[in-house]
Amino acid sequence: MNAISLTGLTKTYPAFQLGPLDLTLPVGSITGLVGENGAGKSTTLKLMLDLLRPDGGEIELLGQRVPDAFPRLKEDIGVVLEELAYPAFLTARQIGRLMANAYRQWEPETYAGYLARLKVPEGQAYSTLSRGTRMKLHLAAALSHGARLLLLDEATSGLDPMVRQEILDLLYDFCREDRAVLLSSHIVSDLEKICDYIAFLHQGRLVLMDEKDRLLERYGVLKCSAEELDRLDPSTLLARRVHRYGAEALVERERVPASLTVDTLTLEELIIFLARGNAS
């Protein structure tokens, strides 16, 4: 069973269109959702959470249709959204009591354990917490009601490297028991550490979706002269940059002549190449 299945999903605004979007996330895996600001990442998450209604297509989470099954599905989905906020005057301890009324499977001991592990003060008002501490509080809540799917929007943003690594470790442990995570993030180095799959959105379109390791094996950077680049089949070049000292192109390794050297690249370099497209 797939944790997420999006088929022909569309959402249209006056100056932006998402989709048609087809995306699946297998159970037991972590998928990184990446793309520039305005690419459609947050819109995609809100559509899955029934915070927005699509103009077309279908959404299935954990084998159930959205929005039909969403009142039941909320028990099985943990959510951290960048825009999400608790009432300013509530403390983490009071938020725990609030969540106990919202979720039948709320686990107060688990919640308290995460608060301690992530160093979130239980008696301090939400409005006085730093942005990073608020994100840790949201993550503690999302992990404390027996969720089988986590939908996270910039959950590691604003945190120092040590805390980010601890959160990545928590997500890795979470997925060991037939669960799944969709993690939207601008911090590509975090995604490279933990994700099984990468989905790249650009201007509302899904440019690629594949296993992370396969992407890094499949694509590379070709550095050559502009003349050598022009002699190649244009369909071989996913993106190119020509400058005064030569040219660079993002290519599929298997389609480049053996006489040319293709360098390895990082996930961040791959995404930057795809986002910028052709440039001279």
pLDDT tens-place string over residues 9-59: 999 999 899 989 999 999 989 999 998 888 889 899 999 999 999 999 999
Residue 120, SS3?
coil
Check residue 244 and give its pLDDT. 77
Reply yes or no on whether the pLDDT at 159 is more than 80.
no
The Cα 251–Cα 228 span in angstroms is 14
Q: Distances from the Cα of 168 to the Cαs of 122, 130, 222, 264, in angstroms?
A: 22, 20, 32, 25
For residue 34, report the phi and psi dihedrals to the nearest 5 degrees: -125, 160
The Cα 91–Cα 269 span in angstroms is 41
Reply yes or no on whether the pLDDT at 280 is more than 50.
no
In this structure, the number of other CB atoms found within 10 A of the CB of residue 87 comes to 11
Reply yes or no on whether the pLDDT at 278 is more than 70.
no
- Residue 24's DSSP bridge partners are 5
Check residue 277 and give its pLDDT. 64
Show Cβ contacts of residue 82 under 8 Å, excluding neighbours closer than 6 positions.
42, 153, 154, 157
The Cα 171–Cα 121 span in angstroms is 21
Q: What is the pLDDT of residues 61-74, one digit of tens each?
A: 999 998 888 778 88
Residue with tokens 């569309």: 10
- Mean pLDDT over residues 118-126, rounded? 93
Reply yes or no on whether the pLDDT at 279 is more than 60.
no
In this structure, the number of other CB atoms found within 10 A of the CB of residue 93 comes to 15
Lowest-confidence range among 14-18, 179-183, 269-273? Answer: 269-273
**Contact yes or no for 58/38 (Cβ under 8 A):** no
Q: Where are the alpha helices (DSSP H) in the chain?
A: 41-48, 70-73, 92-102, 108-117, 131-142, 161-174, 188-194, 212-218, 226-231, 267-276
Reply yes or no on whether the pLDDT at 93 is more than 70.
yes
130 or 97, greater pLDDT? 97
**Contact yes or no for 21/7 (Cβ under 8 A):** no
- Mean pLDDT over residues 113-136, rounded? 91
For residue 6, report the phi and psi dihedrals to the nearest 5 degrees: -110, 130
Check residue 180 and give its pLDDT. 94
Question: How is residue 110 written in tokens?
Answer: 């688990």
Helix (H) or strand (E) holding 246: strand 246-252
- Mean pLDDT over residues 251-277, rounded? 84
Reply yes or no on whether the pLDDT at 212 is more than 80.
yes
The Cα 152–Cα 156 span in angstroms is 9
Check residue 252 and give its pLDDT. 87
pTM of the model: 0.87
122 or 239, greater pLDDT? 122
The Cα 154–Cα 259 span in angstroms is 42
Instruction: Supply angle C-alpha 94, 98, 99, rounded to 5.
Output: 115
The Cα 268–Cα 14 span in angstroms is 31
**Contact yes or no for 143/155 (Cβ under 8 A):** no
Q: What is the pLDDT of residues 166-177, one digit of tens each?
A: 888 888 888 877
